[in-house]
Structure 1
Amino acid sequence: MVESNSSSVDIPVPDTTVLMCRRLLGGDWYSLPLAPIHIESITEGQTNKLYILKLKHTPSTSATTPDTVILRLFSDIWSQEEIITQNIVYAILSERGLAPKLYGVLSHSQGRLEHFYQCRTLTNLELYQENVLTHTTRIIAEMHLQDMPVPKDASFVFKCMRRWLKKTEEVCLSDSKRQSMLNGMLSEKKWEEELDWLEQHLKQLNYPIVFCHNDLYSQNIIRLLDKDEFNIRVIDFDMASYNYRGYEFAQLFHDLLFDYSCTAHPGFKYLPDQYPSLEQRQNIVRLYLQRLYDRDTTKEEVDQLVNEIQQTRLYSCLFVFLWGLRASVVYNYPFDSLYFAKVYLSMYNTEKERLSKQKFE
């Protein structure tokens, strides 16, 4: 759950939080209270902060107690109710083998301890490899088969998008520099009305709603370093909720258009010609449906989902656009999140125009 180029510096985490982690982990973590713990920051984003916690020079004497774990601290963007729901969902996914092992939930639901994988995230080119796409598609199908104790509608992601929009507008009102940077994009459309329209548009299409990951991009798909190349896992379930199944694939296909290995500004390359061909999309959808239904699929079923993906591309574009706007005013990412938002805004406008033409054909 960490990239090989993560920073390796001691980061202050409150002593009370560290003590709570020791108690949750037990074993040498708790019985050796003076054993130093190395704390390494991985990421700080809109939804959480991630740290690696490792017992220094003290290999655990217990087979069930890990030497290294992930500490996930939730940001204040979430309500207490949402954090509790996330922890319940994660615990269930962990028990079912779909998420890393859960070692404990911190009091007041401020965070949780998760299994640490020696791993790396996948590159854009690796995502295109047949074995990787096949394995990822099967994981998606497993996720979509889950029955979870959360609302079965597609409202959660829209709730998040409205929150990001509101927070971005609030920052701009109090910061003239930020307002100048974002004014063109914020004023291009009445975004609250755009969200209302899109939500109603998707409801009218009446597409299947399933339990989704909702944040399926390359940085959340990892390869374990101590396993063979087929051992692919999906991580980071903060956005997991019920949603339109086509959205999951629209998001994955869009991410294939970006190469994040670029070190020059803006920190990524946009490669619009890399969108999967119709044949590639059909093959991926066929694999997914075969795993979902445990049988051969019909051409009609494949065509239906391919169409769902096409129709939910607009949804995916708006999600990332609003995420990018919010990120640009709050966090420092390794790439230009404002420029990233501009690219997705352009993609959104292109998809909106395509849908309009389709309507009048």
Structure 2
Amino acid sequence: MEQNASRVPHIGVTVKQTDVYSDSLKVLKVIRPQWKPEAIKFKLLTDGITNNLVACLPELYEEDDTVLIRIYGNKTDLLIDRQAENRNILLLNKYGLAPSLYATFVNGLAYQFVPGCTLNTENVRRPEIYHLVATNMAKLHKVKVDGVEHPKANIWKKARKFLDTVPDAFSKEETRKRFLELPSKSRINQELELLRRELDRFNNDVVFCHNDLLLGNIIWNESSNHVTFIDYEYAGFNYQAFDIANHFAEFAGVDEVDYSRYPSKTLQMDWLSTYLVEFTGNIPTKAELDSLYVIVNKFVLLTHLFWGIWGLIQAEHSYIDFDFIKYAKTRFDEYFSRKEHLIAT
């Protein structure tokens, strides 16, 4: 169902971490007034490492009627433009690429549940699934935004903003000590400058991107043979190759990151071929495939720097039980281990 922004209510409720279920009822009272509070079942979902997510469903209703309530993580407004996120959801819902947005509230939003399961490090490698992902990403990349004829990539500006947001001194002593094992802010800045000079040598389309296509943001419905992307918090105009590279990096997983899972050249070429057929409407030539393959794998370096910086910010502000310093170190380590080879090629 196509949505109109003016029809999405904003509810003046703050859903507190200490009172999630009763505060969620206040949201549901507005968007699902027919539901009896005593019959509603709540389930706290734990896949995310940025926000908290609660599934809400009354007894005797179908699973498809589930409402998801997302409570923003602490200080995530430092990272995410929430008004832009809402616009993105409404825009992409028109194209059938995002779930329906039911309402916003002070520190979150309520939206449509998408039946299916999130991808994992095993099933993302199955051709019948990754072909769906490649096709869906190509459809997303063809989305046009009214009034934008010559879009510019926002990744460099966002990376700088993120780096400026990293504290010069972390508030927790343990975090301060562990940060000493990581590259300094000035070193990260130097690497960003190096990468920009390197990547600016290549022509790459600027398109509307998801920018955070980790496995938990892809819902696969086996019965309908369909995938849906969710959580468009970081969506916006960016380099085509960044979005693809970012997804390939996520083959490694999040909880237990293992870059031996990074897709092989054979898998990537098959994925990219499927993508280009949808994106261009033509069967790609070998030269076109080879070119995109090279550019994508160079952009993987930028994804490591970007999410490494993000991990440092979360280490200072997030209340979620996740080792963000370890995650940042993993991303930076992978950047430096691959840098010389990828820049030389």
- TM category (shorter chain) comes to 0.7 to 0.9
Q: Distance in 1 between matches of 2:239 and 2:79?
A: 26
2:136 aligned to 127, 136, 139, which one? Answer: 139
Q: Distance in 2 between matches of 1:325 and 1:169?
A: 8
Q: Distance in 2 between matches of 1:349 and 1:282?
A: 24
AA matched with 2:159 = M
2:32 aligned to 25, 35, 41, which one? Answer: 25
Q: Contact 2:116/2:219 (CA < 8 Å) preserved in 1? A: yes
The structural deviation recorded for 1:217 is: 1.6
Q: Does 1:183 align with 2:180?
A: yes
1:344 corresponding residue in structure 2: 331
The verdict on how the C-alpha distance between 1:164 and 1:23 changes in structure 2, with shifts beyond 3 A counting, is same
1:303 corresponding residue in structure 2: 290
The Cα offsets for residues 29-48 of structure 1, whole Å up to 9 and x where unpaired, read as: 3xx5x545444322496653
Instruction: Give the superposed CA RMSD.
Output: 3.2
1:244 corresponding residue in structure 2: 239
Q: Does 1:42 align with 2:50?
A: no
AA matched with 1:68 = T
Q: Distance in 1 between matches of 2:273 and 2:24?
A: 46
* Identical-pair percentage: 24
Q: Distance in 2 between matches of 1:332 and 1:15?
A: 20
The Cα offsets for residues 46-93 of structure 1, whole Å up to 9 and x where unpaired, read as: 6533222223x3649xxxx97420012334322799211110110111
The structural deviation recorded for 1:336 is: 3.8
Q: Please show how residues 1-361 of structure 1 align to structure 2 within 5 Å.
A: 12-13=19-20, 18-26=25-33, 28-29=34-35, 32=36, 35=38, 37-43=40-46, 47-55=50-58, 57=59, 59=61, 67-75=65-73, 76-78=75-77, 82-106=81-105, 110-149=107-146, 152-155=151-154, 157-170=155-168, 172=170, 174-187=171-184, 190-224=187-221, 227-228=222-223, 230-258=225-253, 267-268=255-256, 270-272=258-260, 274-331=261-318, 336-358=323-345
AA matched with 1:116 = F
Q: Distance in 2 between matches of 1:268 and 1:332?
A: 20
Q: Which has the higher contact order (CA 8 A, sep 6+)?
A: 2
The Cα offsets for residues 290-343 of structure 1, whole Å up to 9 and x where unpaired, read as: 111222222222222112202211111112222333333444666643333222
Q: Distance in 2 between matches of 1:188 and 1:213?
A: 26
Corresponding residue SS for 2:68: strand
AA matched with 2:258 = Y
Q: Distance in 2 between matches of 1:165 and 1:45?
A: 22
The structural deviation recorded for 1:170 is: 4.6
The verdict on how the C-alpha distance between 1:245 and 1:167 changes in structure 2, with shifts beyond 3 A counting, is same
The structural deviation recorded for 1:271 is: 4.3
The Cα offsets for residues 183-215 of structure 1, whole Å up to 9 and x where unpaired, read as: 221428522343344345434433211111111
Q: Contact 1:216/1:251 (CA < 8 Å) preserved in 2? A: yes
Q: Contact 1:213/1:241 (CA < 8 Å) preserved in 2? A: yes
- Unaligned regions of 5+ residues in structure 2, if any? 1-16
Q: Distance in 2 between matches of 1:118 and 1:13?
A: 23
Corresponding residue SS for 2:181: helix
AA matched with 1:120 = C
Q: Distance in 2 between matches of 1:188 and 1:351?
A: 20
Q: Contact 2:64/2:114 (CA < 8 Å) preserved in 1? A: no
The structural deviation recorded for 1:235 is: 1.5
The structural deviation recorded for 1:353 is: 1.5
Q: Distance in 1 between matches of 2:113 and 2:122?
A: 25
The verdict on how the C-alpha distance between 1:59 and 1:136 changes in structure 2, with shifts beyond 3 A counting, is closer
- Unaligned regions of 5+ residues in structure 1, if any? 1-9, 261-266
The verdict on how the C-alpha distance between 1:129 and 1:96 changes in structure 2, with shifts beyond 3 A counting, is same
The Cα offsets for residues 129-185 of structure 1, whole Å up to 9 and x where unpaired, read as: 110110110011010000135972222x4444344434432551x333211111221
Q: Distance in 1 between matches of 2:79 and 2:257?
A: 37
Corresponding residue SS for 1:78: helix
The verdict on how the C-alpha distance between 1:80 and 1:248 changes in structure 2, with shifts beyond 3 A counting, is closer
- Name the TM-score, length of structure 1 as normaliser: 0.78
Q: Distance in 2 between matches of 1:95 and 1:192?
A: 38
The structural deviation recorded for 1:228 is: 1.9
- Name the TM-score, length of structure 2 as normaliser: 0.81
Q: Contact 1:35/1:58 (CA < 8 Å) preserved in 2? A: no
Q: How many residues align?
A: 326
